[in-house]
Chains A and B, each alone.
Chain A
């Protein structure tokens, strides 16, 4: 079956521009996570959605980062006024309960 998909796969942007990253989770998965992974580093939790509950935003690094999810479907992660330190791979994962299934990620490069 279809897995988690993310778009775009690569995004190059200029410092100061806004970017929007998209995640399509596996159908029926109630939980959705966003992570950031810098080159050679571990996963950094950003935000977690569970059903219709209020999202856990405790991992968002600054108010330039925000994310939305409508019901149990698509989620978008928005980064405003991008900085060079935002360059990383942004991974989305969906989960039916415990195990997480990751998308291929969006590689963001801020010039």
Chain B
């Protein structure tokens, strides 16, 4: 089983739609969770951090379910500019020299006019 799993999509939705992505993780000791977005041929950029039960930033809402070991990202009123690949990232507790972050393979979103 992969450490972080995402539905690769693609998700093709019309402008104004609401779309949700899920991400599951295998290590129950994971402490921090993030969503990044990556535009075509660009570097990943931090979209949201998810530290507790979830948080909201404008049209974007991230939820964390520790019992089921998944996080979700909800995008409301989607815009053409939301078209990108969304990466789920999970962080183990800080452990000195050990690698911390695990990236999912990403979910591709295309918002259609």
Q: List 6 A-B contacts (CB under 8 A).
A: A42-B87, A50-B96, A54-B97, A91-B43, A97-B94, A98-B100
Given A98-B32, A99-B46, A102-B43: A42 touches B105 (CB 8 Å cut-off): yes
- Contact digits for A29-63, partner B, Cβ 8 Å, 1 yes 0 no: 00101000000011101001010011110110000
Let me know if A33 and B98 touch, CB within 8 A: no
Q: Is the CB of A102 within 8 A of B105?
A: no
Chain A, residue nearest B42 (CB): A104
The A-B contact count (CB < 8 A) is: 51
Contact of A100 with B by CB under 8 A: yes
In the assembled complex, B101 has its CB within 8 A of some CB on chain A: yes
A50 surroundings in chain B (CB, below 8 A): 96-97
CB contacts under 8 Å to B, within A1-48, are 31, 33, 41-43, 45, 48
Q: How far apart are B91's CB and chain A's nearest CB, in angstroms?
A: 5
A87 to chain B, nearest CB (A): 14
Number of interface residues of A (CB under 8 A): 24
Contact of A45 among B87, B96, B99, B104 (CB under 8 A): B99
How far, in angstroms, from A50 to B34 measured CA to CA in the complex? 20
- Among B44, B97, B98, which residue has its beta carbon within 8 angstroms of that of A43? B44
Cα separation A55 to B97 with both chains bound (whole Å): 6
Q: Which of B36-82 contact A (CB under 8 A)?
A: 42-46, 49
Contacts A55-B97, A102-B45 supplied; 10 other A-B pairs, CB < 8 Å: A42-B105, A45-B103, A59-B99, A91-B44, A98-B49, A98-B91, A98-B100, A100-B44, A100-B46, A105-B43
- Contact residues of A between 53 and 81, Cβ < 8 Å to B: 53-56, 58-59
